[in-house]
Amino acid sequence: MKHIVLVSSVIFLGMLTGCKKNNPPSVTPVLASAAKDCLIQSYQTNWTGTYGFNNNYKYDNNSRIVSYESTGLSDVKITRAEIGNPLDSAVSSIAFHQFNSAGDPSILTTTYGFNRDGFPQTLPTTARLSLTKIHNQVSTTIPDYEDHVFTWSKGKLVKVEETSPQPGDWEWMLTITYNDKGNVTSIKYELTTGPRDAVTLITISAYDDKPNPYSAMAYWKFILPTRWNISEPEPLIVALSQNNPLDFNFNDQSSRTMKYTYNEKGFPITKTYTNKNIQSGQTATFNETYVYTCKP
């Protein structure tokens, strides 16, 4: 999320037209198949141009997600994520394989560190990102591309801090708040180096009472395609929450409202949402669909 504060509102509005030491609680991850009745298999948008994409998910025999593919972005033709180990093992990593319009691949690998405190399973406290780019079959790797530090409170992720050894790169921080149902009420993005006058605030006022497509995946927030990028904030809002958001406000510049239809298990199968430019009043409506495998 390099310099995202400069472009985040531009990207979202564009859719209208086309101390870092902390001790997280011990957590035993619950498999999607045991916690919920449905496991998401695919996700599709009817967006056009830059913003249209489809996701397809693959799982192991224990219903742990092991990879997914995201296709359709104009500048990233294919994003393939491969999870090296489940995020409750001692060493975990995820590799994002991306292909730009010229067909040149890049691989962004995130390795998570854990504060284990004698427990076999805990939430990650740190992450290190390395970046490999390949051009004309020549590989170039930046081993310390970014570092992330995670702060937890009562089992909820409340802060993400990015530190980067790259010269001239601005560092950033996300601060997250929740309601008593475990749903995000705000996400604040701000720079911790460089200019400090640009702050992005996203607020959410309402949710339904149904499980969201990823509510059974405790670690989806660490492996979703957009990761911590808030230029299109809804995937992160959903990944951090239990239910489905009904609205959000993006820095008092734009807003979104959502409506859902559900399957017999209560999971959303369609979503219709409307983006609004608060200044101009211009609106645009889009649709998304979800496919699951469900227990009988």
pLDDT for position 225: 75
Burial (Cβ within 10 Å: 0-12, 13-18, ≥19) of residue 165: exposed
Taking the CB of residue 262, how many other CB atoms lie within 10 A of it?
Answer: 15
pLDDT for position 270: 96
Q: For tokens 């995937």, what's the residue? A: 235
pLDDT for position 223: 81
pLDDT for position 133: 86
What is d(CA 254, CA 108) in angstroms, rounded to the nearest whole number? Answer: 31
For residue range 84-103, what is the model confidence (pLDDT) as tens digits? 665 555 556 777 777 665 66
pLDDT for position 17: 45
pLDDT for position 288: 92
The percent of residues in the chain predicted with pLDDT above 90, rounded, is 40
pLDDT for position 19: 38
What is d(CA 42, CA 54) in angstroms, rounded to the nearest whole number? Answer: 7
pLDDT for position 101: 56
What is d(CA 228, CA 184) in angstroms, rounded to the nearest whole number? Answer: 14
What structural domains does the chain harbor?
4-294 (2.40.160.190)
pLDDT for position 248: 98
Identify the segments of the chain with pLDDT beneath 70.
1-36, 47-53, 72-92, 99-103, 114-122
pLDDT for position 55: 82
Return the half-sphere exposure (C-beta side, CA atoms, 13 A cut-off) of residue 51.
Answer: 17
Global pTM value: 0.81
* Cα R_g (the chain), whole angstroms: 19
pLDDT for position 243: 96
**β partners of residue 283:** 276
